[in-house]
Amino acid sequence: MTQTTQAVVVGGGQAGLAAGYHLRRLGVDFVILDAQIQAGGAWQHAWDSLHLFSPAAYSSLPGRLMPIQTGETYPDARHVVGYLTDYERCYNLPVHRPVRVEGVHRDGRLLCVETNAGTWRAEAVVSATGTWWRPFVPAVPGRSDFRGRQLHTVEYRSPRDFAGQRVIVVGGGNSGAQIAADLVYDTELTWVTQRPPRFLADDIDGRALFDAATARRRALDEGRPDTGGVASLGDIVAVPPVRDARDAGLLKASPMFVRIEREGVVWADGTRTPADAVIWCTGSRPALSHLAPMGLRGPRGHIATVGTRSVEEPRLHLLGYGDWTGPASATLIGVGRPAREAAREISALVSARTGLRHFGSSHVAPSLNALRPAVTHAP
Ligand code: FAD
């Protein structure tokens, strides 16, 4: 089965939905192909206690405010899934799931999107597949010798699974700090970070991070000195559970061990700590394997972009992977702007091809709320 449309969005998480919102406003014909069974992208796989690091009002996609979660300043992941589910229904976004995109390649004037449920041909593709699906674990000597359990952030759910165990959490970012704080009361915890943990000031949350990312991009765009952006503020947002554990003196970090062996880890001074489990909170990489047929990846694995558009393949846009594709574009509040830019460029491309008028920002958008819900499933 081959279908033709003007644009295909690969991935139906928040980034894909934001792209869909703007493509719809501009009158572009498109589909969103998402590998998940349900709406919510990576949020539906988050650990039980994960909360956003911004209040609901600062965690919204374009057009529709995230509602406040009763009793929570910082909404939890289930609330985000509910919001995204409602978002795609309310805007009648044509999400097909579960559909896994296996490869995108050039096919003359069009791009060809091969999936496990048929082929789509399109004038433009937006890749919005996130990073959750490509966990990264560093190569540490002896890792395969360990007889205990090893897992990555993406597999962690709850301290219940480790009650009473000796657990080593590796990673000095937000996920490492949050999972360490989650485990500290029920396990014999060792928290390991490559450098001393850098907590942001207690009054800094996602709002300030977004402002810092935006200020940096503005400075760079205007040729002013680099402000340092988010990284200059610290690595760990002191969300309430992290702050509580830290203030109680429970969240002490040790420098990285040098080796793993069957029963645990070995430190630089030769001493050992036995362990039942090691949890690698060591980040994830952009999930871009479906773009491999186009051969666009550079030395660091990134695809060179101007804004969201691929430099080498202007029919391809990347959305949501990090600052690399727009400031704060991997956040709920930050993805709206790059999504709008991508949609405008795609609209212009499609219009140039078809000779139609380009519906710019001054165009009066169709009444989105009046549309019927139409979340479709793959055949
Ligand atoms: P995803 O949510 O990963 O969605 C991508 C979708 O694409 C998924 O449904 C996936 O199944 C699908 N997909 C992947 N590959 C394919 C394929 N080949 N074919 C078809 N579909 C495919 N942001 C905030 O704004 N506030 C926060 O507080 C916050 N906290 C975070 C905490 C953690 C621990 C993490 C990891 C991230 C956090 N983020 C936060 C960042 C960001 O909002 C999330 O990572 C978010 O899930 C990214 O959305 P996305 O749409 O880019 O990717």
Residue with tokens 């091809």: 353
pLDDT computed for residue 356 by the predictor = 54
More confident residue, 238 or 254: 254
Q: Tokens 């030395």 label which residue? A: 299
Q: What are the residue ranges of helices labelled H in 48-131?
A: 77-90
Residue 125 CA to residue 258 CA, distance in Å, equals 44
Q: Which two tokens stand for residue 359?
A: 């519906």
pLDDT in tens, 117-148: 999 999 999 999 999 999 999 999 999 999 99
- The pLDDT confidence band at residue 231, using thresholds 50, 70 and 90, is low
Cα 233 to averaged position of ligand 1 atoms, centre (Å): 23
Give the model's confidence band at 232: pLDDT under 50 very low, under 70 low, under 90 confident, else very high: low
CB 60: neighbour CB atoms within 10 A? Answer: 17
Q: What is the percent of the chain with per-residue pLDDT over 70, rounded to a whole number?
A: 92
pLDDT tens-digit readout, 34-93: 999 999 999 999 999 999 988 999 999 999 999 999 998 889 999 999 999 999 999 999
Q: Phi and psi of 134, rounded to 5°?
A: -135, 70
The residue to mutate among 38, 60, 129, having the most atoms of ligand 1 within 8 angstroms of its beta carbon, is 129
Q: What is the mean pLDDT of residues 162-180?
A: 97
Domains of the chain: 2-133+284-371 (3.50.50.60), 143-199+235-280 (3.50.50.60)
Over the chain, what is the mean pLDDT?
90
**% of the chain surpassing 90 pLDDT:** 76
Neighbour count for residue 180 (Cβ, 10 Å): 32
pLDDT higher than 70, residue 160: yes
Question: Cis bond leading into 98, ω under 30°?
Answer: yes
Mean pLDDT value across residues 215-226: 76
pLDDT band at 229 (very low <50, low <70, confident <90, very high): low
For residues 14 and 61, give the distance between their C-alpha atoms in angstroms, rounded to a whole number: 7
Ligand 1 neighbour 36 (Cβ under 6 A): yes
Task: Indicate whether 362 pLDDT > 60.
Answer: no
Q: What is the mean pLDDT of residues 22-31?
A: 98
Tell me how far apart the alpha carbons of residues 161 and 163 are, in angstroms, rounded to a whole number: 6
Q: Is the pLDDT of residue 191 over 80?
A: yes
- What's the pLDDT at 361? 38
Q: Which of 50, 67, 54 is nearest to 210 (CA)?
A: 54
* Residue of 8, 14, 100, 282 with the most ligand 1 atoms within 8 Å of its CB, for mutation: 14
DSSP string, 119-149: EEEEEEEEE---STTSB-----TTGGG--SE
pLDDT given for residue 358 in this prediction: 46
Q: For residue 375, which phi and psi values (nearest 5 degrees)?
A: -85, 115
DSSP state letter for 132: T
Pairing type for strands 305-306 and 309-310 reads antiparallel
Ligand 1 center to 109 CA (angstroms): 31
Q: Is 84 in the pocket of ligand 1 (CB under 6 A)?
A: no
- Sign of the Cα torsion 34, 38, 44, 45 reads negative
Q: pLDDT tens-digit profile of 293-348?
A: 999 988 777 899 999 999 999 999 999 998 788 778 899 999 999 999 999 999 99
Tokens for 242? 């992290």
Q: Ligand 1, closest atom to CA 42? A: 2
Q: Which residue has the tokens 């610290």?
A: 234
Average pLDDT over residues 183-203: 95
80 lines ligand 1 (CB under 6 A): no
Q: Name the residue at shortest CA distance from atom 36 of ligand 1.
A: 132
Residue 223's pLDDT is 80
Which residue, by CA, sits nearest to atom 34 of ligand 1? 175
Mutation test of ligand 1: which of 43, 45, 332, 333 has the most ligand atoms closer than 8 Å to its C-beta?
332
State residue 199 phi and psi, 5-degree precision: -80, 140
118 Cβ contact list (under 8 Å, min separation 6): 1, 2, 3, 379
Contact assessment for residue 212 and residue 218, using Cβ atoms and an 8 Å cutoff? no
Interatomic CA distance for residues 339 and 273, integer angstroms: 47
